[in-house]
């Protein structure tokens, strides 16, 4: 079992686009949205995975992720999704010794852009990039499973 330690911020401008080292298109859906155990299926760059995440404790939560065949992932998204299917473009930005992931949402969520940083420890000190605005870590309105 792995721990996910993640902080999230609203994005204030598009400077992340020119700073990005790579991008990828992501399609994901939730099969279970219970905060005690969310279950997500995701397809990105021809790779599909099933992820189970435990309840948040601040910026920390349990996480299990397993690669699955892409046709199975597509079938799960089509037949088992709970709520909307999320599509987004992820920009990866190296800044201050960390990789920031900036998600630009599409479709009904167009206009929402969130930056995330995964940390090795909840007490890790880091520098905010210029595009990071208000912190929304722990705000359930910005959990992908709530969107």
Alpha helices (H) in 1-147, listed in sequence order: 15-19, 70-80
Whether residue 85 is contained in a domain is answered as yes
Long-range contacts of 94-98 (CB under 8 A, 24+ apart): 94/19, 94/21, 95/19, 95/127, 95/129, 96/126, 96/127, 96/129, 97/126, 98/126
Model confidence, pTM = 0.92
Whether residue 24 is contained in a domain is answered as yes
Whether residue 67 is contained in a domain is answered as yes
Whether residue 123 is contained in a domain is answered as yes
Whether residue 103 is contained in a domain is answered as yes
CA distance 83 to 120: 31
Whether residue 147 is contained in a domain is answered as no
Predicted local distance difference test score (pLDDT) of residue 60: 87
Q: State the CATH number of the domain containing residue 15.
A: 2.40.320.10
* pLDDT tens track for 77-103: 999 999 899 999 999 999 999 999 999
Predicted local distance difference test score (pLDDT) of residue 98: 97
CA distances from 125 to 2, 68, 96, 98 (A): 21, 35, 10, 11
* Count of the separate structural domains present in the chain: 1
Predicted local distance difference test score (pLDDT) of residue 3: 82
Whether residue 126 is contained in a domain is answered as yes
Whether residue 57 is contained in a domain is answered as yes
Inter-residue contact 23 to 91 (CB < 8 Å): yes
Predicted local distance difference test score (pLDDT) of residue 58: 81
Q: Which residues of the chain have pLDDT under 50?
A: none
**Domain extent at residue 41:** 2-142
Specify the residue for token string 């700073």: 19
Is-catalytic flag, 16? no
Q: Which of 30, 91, 142, 143 is catalytic?
A: 30
């Amino acid at each position: 079992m792995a721990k996910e330690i993640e902080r999230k911020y609203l994005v204030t401008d598009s400077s992340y686009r020119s700073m990005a080292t790579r991008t990828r298109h992501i399609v994901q859906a939730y099969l279970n949205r219970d905060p005690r155990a969310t279950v997500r299926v995701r397809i990105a760059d021809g790779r599909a995975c099933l992820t189970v995440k435990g309840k948040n404790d601040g910026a920390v939560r349990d996480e299990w992720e397993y690669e699955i065949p892409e046709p199975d992932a597509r079938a799960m998204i089509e037949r088992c999704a709970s709520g909307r299917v999320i599509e987004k473009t992820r920009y990866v930005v190296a800044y201050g010794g960390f990789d920031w992931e900036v998600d630009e949402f599409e479709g009904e969520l167009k206009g929402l852009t969130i930056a995330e940083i995964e940390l090795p420890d909840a007490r890790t000190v880091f520098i905010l990039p210029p595009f990071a605005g208000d912190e929304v870590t722990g705000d359930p309105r910005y959990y992908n499973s709530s969107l």
